[in-house]
Amino acid sequence: MVKGVFLKQQQSQPDQTDEERLFLSLSEQLGHVFLLMTRLAERAQSLPVESRDAEWQVVRDISESAMFLTEAFAEGSKLRHHLASPEMEPVTVSALLYDAAEQLRPLARQYGVELELDDLPRLTPVMSDRHILQAALTSLGQVFVLAQSEAESRAPLTFAAHRTRYGIVAGVYSEDNDLTADAFRRASALYGRSSQPLGKLVSGPASGIFVADTLLQSISTKLHVARYRGHIGLGITLPVCDQLQLV
């Protein structure tokens, strides 16, 4: 009954701002997380004392990922309202992907998802804000971890980068998903209004994707559906700075 009322209220607000919609999406996402942590904590309490540590570690890893997503949302809001500004510097894309994957490993481990770093080529550094890019990739990666945990096959998630004529594309990819550009466009219009805006990829609000997109807007780029070696995922195209060409 409460859920029905909440959805009705969402549908009655066609003029919501993007930020309001993102807040609603994030609120629903965190509601799922808090319910999961409550159940895990109850289960931990029922276990013998010597068996509780592993269960509490699950709670810690999940809570830290939720805290990260909340902080990323807050950072995106500050950037949107010009309370913070990007700090541009040379960024090595391979190091960026490595750090994002490492930040996600505790959560991925709890969901039984393997993360892989592709054999990253030696790519020209890009001029961008490293903190924003890493926060965006990590927020995006959280959604892919959940999606892969629901997939029939537990193929690894791949963090990869490659060069195109438009620049360097850095992204997260998986083998078995039905993600398309049209589905992503529809999801971008539905988040905050639908409980599963990106049902072709993952159940739930998938708010990490839209938090990432908000962060990326501050550096004049955005997420897009990308393909890499037969895998489908979401990537960020970063323009190459000619002055940073490696010798």
Domain range summary for the chain, segments of one domain joined by +: 2-244
Question: For residue 7, what pLDDT is reported?
Answer: 44
Question: For residue 121, what pLDDT is reported?
Answer: 73
Kindly report, residue by residue over 179-209, the tens digit of the pLDDT.
Answer: 999 999 999 998 988 888 988 888 888 999 9
CATH 3.40.50.720 for domain 2-244, yes or no, is no
> What's the angle, vertex CA 135, arms to CA 160 and CA 62, rounded to 5?
95
Alpha-carbon gap, residue 101 to 138, rounded angstroms: 7
The partner residues of 90 in beta bridges, in order of sequence, read 127
**Percent of the chain's residues with pLDDT above 70:** 91
Q: Which residue has the higher pLDDT, 122 or 164?
A: 164
Alpha-carbon gap, residue 201 to 148, rounded angstroms: 9
Q: Which residue has the higher pLDDT, 176 or 150?
A: 150
Quote the tokens at residue 213: 């997109």
Yes or no: say if 129 and 79 are a contact pair by the CB < 8 Å rule. no
With a cut of 50, say whether residue 64 has pLDDT above it: yes
Question: For residue 201, what pLDDT is reported?
Answer: 87
- Residue located via tokens 């083998």: 175
Backbone angles phi, psi at 198, to 5 degrees: -125, 55
Kindly report, residue by residue over 99-151, the tens digit of the pLDDT.
Answer: 999 999 999 999 999 999 987 778 889 999 999 999 999 999 999 999 999 88
* Range in 97-111, 129-143, 150-164, 219-233 the model is least confident about: 150-164
Q: Are strands 115-117 and 89-91 parallel, antiparallel or unpaired?
A: unpaired
